[in-house]
Amino acid sequence: MMTILVVLAALWTGDAGAVPSVVDRTPGKLAPAVSKEMTEAIVALNKTLGLESWPARGVQPCLDRGGQGIQAKEVTPEDTKKCAAATIAKGFPGLGKTYVLAVPMASIGPVTVIAFGIGENAGWAAYSCDPERKCLPVKLSAPTKWGKRMAERQQKACADPTTLWFPEGQKSCP
């Protein structure tokens, strides 16, 4: 009832700028535009960093790891930052405003890409997955298997000093 009154008041006063925030965002849900951009950013970084079998699908990564299945070359955090920065610069306006990206690192290079909501989107996260699957954000507090896994991954990413965060210096840690 209150939502209807707010929408009607906004329409009556001509304040059209207030309508989208009321209409587009349901309490307890992630805004569709944020969800879409988080997923697109994960896929873009996966392609750039050569993760999640994208090289086997003909996508040329920015990082040279020595070939599919042959992780003979070590990839440094600096190499990873350089490639990720170039990809991120291609247009993810919500990055740093509605979500951040974490790239956990191993001794041979990047392991995966995780997006964590920030601000009013805090408590949501998306994890990279194979190209055929959707990597939709999940609620970190959800009692589901993926909700629990994402909360564990957030704790690990935050605890590991080698995790790369984008934008640099911004984290989403409990």
Write out the two tokens for 40.
């697109």
Question: What whole-number distance in Å separates Cα of residue 110 and Cα of residue 115?
Answer: 15
pLDDT given at position 159: 97
pLDDT exceeds cutoff 70 at 119? yes
For the ranges 41-45, 102-106, 143-147, 152-156, the lowest mean pLDDT is seen at 143-147
Distances (CA, A) of 104 to 7, 45, 57, 77, 108: 43, 13, 23, 10, 11
Q: What is the mean pLDDT of residues 114-132?
A: 91
Which is more confidently placed, 158 or 5?
158
Write out the two tokens for 100.
């951040």
Band (16; pLDDT cuts 50, 70, 90): very low
Q: What is the mean pLDDT of residues 5-34?
A: 48
pLDDT given at position 134: 79
The per-residue pLDDT for range 140-169, each reduced to its tens digit, is 887 888 889 999 999 999 999 999 999 998
What is the model's pTM? 0.78
pLDDT given at position 65: 65
pLDDT given at position 11: 35
Q: What is the mean pLDDT of residues 5-16?
A: 35
Band (85; pLDDT cuts 50, 70, 90): very high
**Range with top average pLDDT, 24-33, 96-105, 133-142:** 96-105
